[in-house]
Amino acid sequence: MEAPKPEEITHPPMDQLQGLEYCIDSNPSWGEAIALGFQHYILALGTAVMIPSFLVPLMGGDDGDKVRVVQTLLFVEGINTLLQTLFGTRLPTVIGGSYAFMVPIISIIHDSSLSRIEDPHLRFLNTMRAVQGALIVSSSIQIILGYSQLWAICSRFFSPLGMVPVIALVGFGLFDRGFPVVGRCVEIGVPMLILFIAFSQYLKGFHTRQLPILERFALLITVTVIWAYAHLLTASGAYKHRPELTQMNCRTDRANLISSAPWIKIPYPLQWGAPTFNAGHAFGMMAAVLVSLVESTGAFKAASRLASATPPPAHVLSRGIGWQGIGILLSGLFGTLSGSTVSIENVGLLGSTRVGSRRVIQISAGFMIFFSILASVGLSFLQFTNMNSMRNLFITGVALYLGLSVPDYFREYTAKAFHGPAHTNAGWFNDFLNTIFFSPPTVALIVAVFLDNTLDYKDSARDRGMPWWVKFRTFKGDSRNEEFYTLPFNLNRFFPPS
């Protein structure tokens, strides 16, 4: 047998992902755009429902309060997404809520000055105002780091090698949001997972009027089918004598969200009353803002690849972080129980449907697919590095391992002791450390960037992938940047790219 040629066994690195039906500047028809956008809305609805459903009862709120928080969160997500896609990074990302904010919010809920309020509704309002005040103050971190271009300076220490664990763990780090959640209702979650994979991968050749309808709208079709299936199980009494936890997770008539929701309700700033400010609450919330900063940095870089764009230049990345800070400020003003961050599951959806367009603006089974795609995009950056180098193997392995292991330790410790490993008399200090080390991407960033910039630093530029990365640091470093990242409405005259 003839020996294979080198070009037959190697794959040259590509700075733009191939195989996308729509790139960042494509314009699908309005009908497709609405349907694709609705898929993103369904995924955003997952986070928007899950966070308030857990936090509002702890605050003393009822179903009506829960619905108002969900409505407010979705409303603010829409505003923040519009601002980010128009004036921020201009990448096709949905700006949604973040689980990173749950640790400091739960700490605020358990504050003795709030928990001792006897009237549940009054306790809910006072807790919400305290959370709002902490979000408003902590938003200044991202606003300052973004608009001052300090984050752009920090990004000079990032290399493709250092970003691999960060982006990968943005996806892999949420493994507990996948099958552990599906397992609470296997008879619904597993069929959804199977259907989604079948529609989006195995049946993607099915076309209707030359449109790959099963592949492109796999999530929308799957959710519709599985919801109808779950409703049939509920109506037939399949869960009538099952444990309460099973019924809460499987039945379609226990959330009371639809029945409690008004037909029309427009959220407005300070709808819960004037925010209250506490230095300890704000300092703890700042840790969540920093975690959101790290996660969004990784998600922005992943989104650029899934949208077939070049990596965002340093000042564009910093500009996006600044607008995300504005988003957290709006979240505090409106009262959403969560700050803003790039909605990770929607970034994964870009790749799973092979669509990455600006016009394309709970599903745990779907989350498993989207998180895994996002993680694999992070691993794809390894093609620009030398993985025959023991140095690179060490940094990648240690950052990935610690990025998973440390947060898992913090989660297990908290589940058993009902408080984090950091448990001193200074509550703000506990919140700060526990929040930071609960986040896999943040731990990975700390480990990877430190090792990458201290271990054989001078002799490793080519191995780290810096010759490939350096041309994307500045706006004029690549001619494609102007197409992807130029501000609309001729605003570049007033805010020239650096």
Mean pLDDT across 338-367: 61
Phi, psi of 389 (to 5 degrees): -90, 125
User: What tokens appear for 478 in the block?
Assistant: 């690549």
**pLDDT > 80? residue 381:** yes
**pLDDT > 70? residue 359:** no
**First and final C-alpha spacing in the chain:** 55
Q: Is the Cβ–Cβ distance between 144 and 150 less than 8 Å?
A: yes
Tell me which of 60 and 216 has the higher pLDDT.
60
What pLDDT score does 456 carry?
Answer: 82
Nearest to 243 by CA among 184, 285, 202, 290: 184
What pLDDT score does 131 carry?
Answer: 95
Distances, alpha carbon 148 to alpha carbons 100, 152, 154, 340, in Å: 24, 9, 12, 20
**Alpha carbons 105 and 431: distance in angstroms, whole number:** 9
pLDDT band at 358 (very low <50, low <70, confident <90, very high): very low
**pLDDT > 50? residue 158:** yes
Rounded to 10 degrees, what is the CA torsion of 244, 248, 252, 258? 130
pLDDT band at 351 (very low <50, low <70, confident <90, very high): low
What pLDDT score does 36 carry?
Answer: 81
Burial class (CB in 10 A: 0-12, 13-18, 19+), 493: exposed
β-pair partners for 60: none
Among the ranges given (12-21, 310-319, 322-331, 419-428), the one the predictor scored with the smallest mean pLDDT: 12-21
Mean pLDDT across 437-458: 91
pLDDT band at 8 (very low <50, low <70, confident <90, very high): low
Nearest to 265 by CA among 55, 75, 95: 75
Mean pLDDT, the chain, rounded, equals 85
What pLDDT score does 7 carry?
Answer: 60
The 10s digit of each residue's pLDDT in 218-240 is 888 888 888 888 889 888 888 88
Helices of type H across 148-271: 150-154, 160-172, 179-182, 186-197, 213-216, 218-235, 244-250, 257-260
Nearest to 313 by CA among 145, 90, 139: 90
